[in-house]
Copies of this chain bind each other. A is one copy, B any other.
Amino acid sequence: MNSEHLIVTDMGIDTHQEPVVYMRDDCHVCRAEGFDASSRVQLKAGGKTLIATLNVVDKKSFPRNHVGLSRIALTRLQVTSGAKVFIGHAPVVTSLHTLRKKIYGHALSDKEIGAIISDISEHRYSDIEIASFLSICAGSRLNTDEIIGLTRAMVEHGKRLSWPGNQQVFDKHSVGGLPGNRTSPLVVAIVSSAGLTIPKTSSRAITSPAGTADTMETLTNVNLPLADIQRVVSETGGCLVWGGGINLSPADDVLIRIERALNLDGEGQLIASVLSKKIAAGSTHAIIDIPVGDTAKVRTQADADRLAGLFTQVGNACGIHVRCIISDGSRPVGAGIGPVEEARDMLDVLQCFPHAPQDLRERALTLSAHLLDLAQQCGLESALQQATDILDSGRAWAQFQRIAEAQGGLKALPKARYHIIEKAHHSGTLQTIDNRKLARLAKLAGAPVDPAAGLRLHVNVGAYVDAGDPLFTLYAESPGEREYALSYYVENRDIFQIGGHNE
């Protein structure tokens, strides 16, 4: 660490999550330390440390003894313009060497995984190092012990919530890949009505057009501090909040950001991510919904069984009771895809409107029944009846509103600025919808960054369609995104297959 300090300049540059430091090409500290553009450097200020990537700038950028910091660098180092910082080479990040071991086929030990997760939670890895770690461990490249090690390490480096007075705490997760499969808010409303404690924390979308947190955020406040979450749960038995705001699993948040940028996944990362967050949230029991289908995330029954087995095994090793439910993943659920459109479907189901999507209703009831059965050991049939009564009687809708009020109030749903209705070109039975491409289409339209963007299906698989009938409506907030999504649709006519033809 160089003994001369430099003065911080706010560059006014948003480099997203990767901190960048800017030094003048004639900076004497730069020369003394032997830095060059793309060096990894370490900054110290007031007891805080930050590792960042160096960019080198022209002399005219700021005065001689200054150093520029990007927005995230200022935030992480907790400094503003004018502060004094010290700068030196970034220390060698030793856990990186164990990645080589993994590349050459050796399983990582608990200690090695712990060191990697520790470094990642402390922001010592650059984005390409995180990308490398994730890619090395992607697919099925982590064995069961490694997945257990990864889960435990992520729990160790995050928070641990507790719910005093509650011996059993329930949770739910859907593996995803099924557009519109927005069951969590319905399940939480139903089972908390029955007296179960279900403090549901959810993520924003990773690679999909909406996450539960994105969808709930269109209806109420989801970004609650821990004390408020605890208040909501003690008042209502449940909550529907964003987990990222309470930093349950900081390593997971870092990994998810890069997974999102790379559109990358892997069973080890999935299991560790899901279970570490459930354990961190203080849950004792969890239902994992695994939809299976040609264009869902999990493609075959065999893959689903394998994943279910791993989830249960890792859950046992880490102290959480896991029950996996394998469901149909062959077609989108509901009609809306994207935060606002999915919220619309949820409200329709809760209020038992006749036009509410029946498939979404049935899935929510099934999952709720499994949770009730886990809690009461009453058998699935009795549990399903109980869940149905709660929904049909209006108690679930009342409970949902109570939870939303406790979180800050129920909001009205907005409508997107632009929309366009796409019609069928052929007549016939709608035979298949490509879930993955449909999700991509909704994302290109702007979901979830624009909550009201996405699409609404007017038909689903199995329906008979006449040429000229509306297939779906696309919603977007900018002409650029609308056109971008449409050009993708035009190039991907196989999203909908009608009467044996691509659309």
User: Hey, which bits of chain A sit against chain B, CB under 8 A?
Assistant: 2, 11-17, 22, 25, 31-34, 36-38, 55-58, 60-61, 70, 88-89, 92, 96-97, 99-100, 103-105, 126-136, 138-141, 258, 261-264, 266, 446, 449-450, 477-481, 484, 488
- Considering the complex, give the chain B residue whose CB is closest to the CB of A299: B104
Asked if residues B12 and A61 are in contact (CB atoms below 8 Å), the reply is yes
Contact B37 A16, beta carbon cutoff 8 Å:
yes
| A2, A31, A138, A481: residue with the most chain B Cβ atoms closer than 10 Å | A138
A128-B131, A129-B262, A484-B89 known; A477+B34 contact, CB < 8 A: yes
Q: Which residues of B contact A33 (CB under 8 A)?
A: 478, 480-481
Contacts of A25 in B (CB 8 A): 14
Query: Do A139 and B34 have beta carbons less than 8 Å apart?
Result: no
Given contacts A33-B480, A61-B12, contact A131 B135 (CB under 8 A): yes
The listed residue (B17, B60, B103, B480) touching A12 by CB distance below 8 A is B60
> Contact at B262–A31, with CB atoms within 8 Å?
no
Closest B residue, CB atoms, query A29 = B480
| Residues of the B chain whose Cβ atoms lie less than 8 Å from the Cβ of A141 | 103
Which residues of B lie under 8 Å from residue A61 when comparing CB positions? 12-13
Out of B2, B31, B258, B263, which one reaches A100, CB within 8 Å?
B263
Say whether A34 contacts B481, CB under 8 Å: yes
Residues of B within 8 A of A130 (CB): 128
Sample (30) of A-B pairs whose CB atoms are under 8 Å apart: A11-B57, A12-B57, A13-B56, A13-B58, A13-B61, A14-B25, A14-B55, A14-B56, A17-B38, A31-B478, A34-B449, A34-B450, A34-B477, A88-B480, A89-B480, A89-B484, A92-B488, A97-B263, A99-B264, A103-B135, A103-B138, A104-B139, A104-B140, A128-B128, A128-B130, A128-B258, A128-B262, A131-B132, A131-B135, A132-B264
**3 nearest CB pairs, A to B:** A12-B58, A135-B135, A16-B38
Chain B nearest CB, measured from A431 CB (Å): 24
Inter-chain contact A32/B479, CB cutoff 8 Å: yes
Distance in Å: Cβ of A489 to nearest Cβ of chain B:
13
List the B residue with the shortest CB-CB distance to A484.
B89
Structural contact, A13 and B2, CB atoms closer than 8 A: no
Q: A449-B34, A478-B33 are in contact. Are A103 and B484 (CB under 8 A)?
A: no
**Shortest Cβ gap from A486 to chain B (Å):** 13
A103 and B136 form a contact (CB under 8 A) = no
Q: State the CA gap A91–B447 with chains docked (Å).
A: 18
CB distance from A434 to the nearest CB of B (A): 13
Residues on B with C-beta less than 8 A from A134 are 132
Contact B480 A34 (CB under 8 A): yes
Known: A13-B22, A15-B55, A449-B36. A132 touches B135 (CB 8 A): yes
Chain B residues with Cβ under 8 A from A32's Cβ? 478-480
Task: Give complex CA distance A49, B58 in Å.
Answer: 25
Contacts of A478 in B (CB 8 A): 31-34
Residue in B closest to A480 when the chains form the complex, CB atoms? B33
Report the Cα distance A86→B99, complex, angstroms.
Answer: 41
Q: Which residue of B lies closest to A477 (CB)?
A: B34
Q: Which residues of B contact A138 (CB under 8 A)?
A: 103, 136
Give the residue name and chain of the B residue nearest to A88 (CB). B480
Select A261's contact among B2, B22, B100, B128, beta carbons within 8 Å.
B128
Could you tell me the distance between the alpha carbons of A449 and B130 in the complex, rounded to whole angstroms?
Answer: 26
Q: Which residues of B contact A57 (CB under 8 A)?
A: 11-14
The complex places the Cα of A132 from the Cα of B138 at a distance, in Å, of 10
12 more A-B residue pairs beyond the given contacts A13-B57, A33-B478, A34-B478, with a C-beta to C-beta distance below 8 A:
A13-B61, A14-B25, A14-B55, A14-B56, A16-B55, A32-B478, A89-B480, A103-B135, A103-B141, A128-B131, A132-B132, A135-B135
